[in-house]
Amino acid sequence: MPDITTDVLIIGTGPAGSATAALLASYGVDVLVVNRYRWLAHTPRAHITNQRTMEVLRDLGPEVEAEAYMHAADQDLMGENVFCESLAGEELGRMKSWGNHPLSRAEHLMSSPSRMNDLPQTFMEPILFKTACSRGAQSRMSTEYLSHVQDADGVTTTCRDRLTGKDVVIRSKFLVGADGGNSLVAEHCGLPFEGKMGVGGSMNILFRADLSRYVAHRPSVLYWVMQPGADVGGIGMGLVRMVRPWNEWLIVWGYDINQPAPVVDAAMATQVARQLVGDPELEIELISANTWTVNNQYATHMQQGRVFIMGDAAHRHPPSNGLGSNTSIQDGFNLAWKLAAVVKGHAAPALLDSYSPERAPIAKQIVTRANQSIGEFGPIFEALGMDGGVDHQKIQASMAARCDATEAGAAQREALRKAIEFKKYEFDCHGVEMNQRYTSTAAVTDGQPQPAPNADMELHYQPTTWPGARLPHVWVFSADGKQHSTLDLCGRGQFTLLTGIGGEAWVAAAKAEAAKRGMPIRTHVIGPRQAIADHTGDWARASEIADNGCLLVRPDHHVAWRSATLTLDPAADLARVLTSILGK
């Protein structure tokens, strides 16, 4: 007999596990989330929070999104990505990053109702975890996952209660392994992975010191210190990362992965901080120090029967591009509504088979991108003459040569400019953040081809209502004149049907399907004198359908199906699509 019974058991209270628990609890699903430790993240870890993740928080409720902004460093404080010899020393280059270039800012503003920001994991995790608990998720800290077995009806999981030392047996319909980069759940499922763990070694030094005089005039999240001999994560430089502006910092400093991880004591931490800040008298208040490894590994399949993996359990990569926690939370947004639909009987278990085909390609993409971004520092080193050895004099001479009024000096300056500009693939990579499109049984294209890219899809978001893509955001207006994002019309655990004037038969079809299935389907007719109006015409331009066509939008804002115009039998068409997606 199990000690505890629940619908969904989640291992891990990190961004993936806490977000999924919050979503499931919001959808009214019985969920238990466990963590082997007594605490949530107690070091800042992930911090760059992209627009798509903020849309997930917005979907959880305006108060959740507002709390995140309240604790975050604003986008305006993120953008002057600096390359320097030390914070006090010579600045070598700079680029506007994280949507702070005016052109990029325009794209950000047009793409989403939500803003990118810097929210350390020490703030994000408690917001998500508290949301889960306040909405009825059960939680157990000091509870360590040990093993599981699954059968036709459910999963039986054994955990160790670390307070009593006793085993706890939990029976659930589904098990989610959100247990991080060393996932035991993934290992026990024997899920397939590609790539390697431990391709580089890094240490984190977290400290307090007021560095305003070096940074407040060029506000940034990241200050890249290029010094001979510095070596972080195999990329040959030290990183000074803002945790709280401008008195809490995290230095990332590399170590040789082929040697044992170093012990970072206060003396060593102070020495590294003084060197990177460039102030031999600097006093720091050391908060903590730890080591971590650079990984390059992703799961090619994220499900085994009733067991799923998500977050770092499925994608393990360096912090480049700031994709770790973001992708983890977005995994949860994909899986939670599907689990809820199956638990509530609205969908057959086959719906869950769409999770891995939708998220495993994203896992591969972001792991590849993050590791590629490390390599793309190379041209900066080359341009500065720092690409071979640690001969200080040679490097100083090479750095000085870029100031020469010679052809070689001009070429070197040009090479450095280009190399820094190319880093937009790490620091302003909006397309990777926003262009996620799914191909699976949970999006019905009816043979419509995916639109051809109209720009570099890594750098730029391309809105489309092609089934599988995220619904484009534009502002539409309620009768009181207030603006609402098209995303706000959707989500919150429900399918939504969007149509316009002349599409009323779609609304009738949706209502009939909802009644038949006992499953709510929200509807909106967008047009003049309707509850929602498109005063600017932005929706007409973005929707890619006629007024009497329709879009069926999934609870995770992705388009499930679209019809360009009213069809001969809207009721039959909608029934066909819902049956195909939900498997019943």
Looking at residues 8 to 37 of the shown chain, list those that interact with ligand FDA (rule: CB under 6 A). 11-17, 34-37
String of contacts with ligand FDA for each residue 57-96, x by CB under 6 A: ----------------------------------------
C-alpha–C-alpha distance, residues 518 and 371, integer Å = 46
If one asks whether residue 292 binds ligand FDA (CB under 6 A), the answer comes out as yes
What one-character-per-residue DSSP string does 266-333 give? HHHHHHHHHHHHT-TT---EEEEEEEEEEEEEEES--EETTEEE-GGGTEE--SGGG-HHHHHHHHHH
String of contacts with ligand FDA for each residue 341-380, x by CB under 6 A: ----------------------------------------
**Binding ligand FDA by CB under 6 A: which of 107, 179, 248, 433?**
179
Those residues whose C-beta lies under 8 Å from the C-beta of residue 425, and which sit 6 or more positions away, are 369, 372, 373, 376, 458, 459
**Region from 174-182, 227-235, 438-446, 482-490 binding ligand FDA, contact rule CB under 6 A:** 174-182
If one asks whether residue 322 binds ligand FDA (CB under 6 A), the answer comes out as yes
Q: Which is nearer to ligand FDA, 39 or 285 (CB)?
A: 39
If one asks whether residue 120 binds ligand FDA (CB under 6 A), the answer comes out as no
337 half-sphere exposure, CB direction, 13 A CA radius: 24
Closest separation in Å from C-beta 328 to ligand FDA = 4
If one asks whether residue 180 binds ligand FDA (CB under 6 A), the answer comes out as yes
**Binding ligand FDA by CB under 6 A: which of 195, 233, 236, 324?**
324
Distances (CA, A) of 135 to 5, 27, 127, 308: 18, 9, 12, 23
Q: Which is nearer to ligand FDA, 228 or 233 (CB)?
A: 233
What one-character-per-residue DSSP string does 19-57 give? HHHHHHHHTT--EEEE-SSSSS--S----EE-HHHHHHH
- HEC per residue, 135-167: CCCEEECCEEEEEEEECCCCEEEEEEECCCCCE
Closest separation in Å from C-beta 440 to ligand FDA = 22
**Binding ligand FDA by CB under 6 A: which of 154, 228, 233, 319?**
319
Looking at residues 385 to 404 of the shown chain, list those that interact with ligand FDA (rule: CB under 6 A). none
Closest separation in Å from C-beta 290 to ligand FDA = 6
String of contacts with ligand FDA for each residue 121-160, x by CB under 6 A: x----------------------xx---------------
Number of residues that bind ligand FDA (CB under 6 A): 32
**Region from 127-135, 270-278, 312-320, 509-517 binding ligand FDA, contact rule CB under 6 A:** 312-320
- Best CA proximity match to 459, nearest among 476, 434, 486, 493: 434
- List, in sequence order, the alpha helices (H) in 458-519: 504-517
Q: Which is nearer to ligand FDA, 55 or 144 (CB)?
A: 144
What one-character-per-residue DSSP string does 304-316 give? ETTEEE-GGGTEE
Query: Whose structure tokens read 């390359």?
Result: 83
Phi, psi of 570 (to 5 degrees): -60, -35
Closest separation in Å from C-beta 182 to ligand FDA = 7
If one asks whether residue 311 binds ligand FDA (CB under 6 A), the answer comes out as yes
- Cα torsion 458, 464, 470, 474 to 10°: value is 110
Closest separation in Å from C-beta 241 to ligand FDA = 7
Distances (CA, A) of 555 to 56, 307, 316, 328: 11, 21, 27, 18
Closest separation in Å from C-beta 383 to ligand FDA = 26
Closest separation in Å from C-beta 249 to ligand FDA = 12
Q: Which is nearer to ligand FDA, 158 or 530 (CB)?
A: 158
**Binding ligand FDA by CB under 6 A: which of 170, 178, 242, 336?**
178
Q: Which residue is nearest to ligand FDA (CB)?
A: 311
Tokens for 444? 């019905």
Evaluate whether 556 touches 503 at the Cβ level (below 8 Å): no
Phi, psi of 105 (to 5 degrees): -60, -40
- Pairing mode, if any, of strands 167-177 and 155-161? antiparallel
C-alpha–C-alpha distance, residues 100 and 167, integer Å = 51
If one asks whether residue 328 binds ligand FDA (CB under 6 A), the answer comes out as yes
Closest separation in Å from C-beta 365 to ligand FDA = 15
Site residues (CB under 6 A) for ligand FDA?
11-17, 34-37, 43, 45-46, 121, 144-145, 178-180, 184, 204, 290, 292, 311-313, 319, 322, 324-325, 328
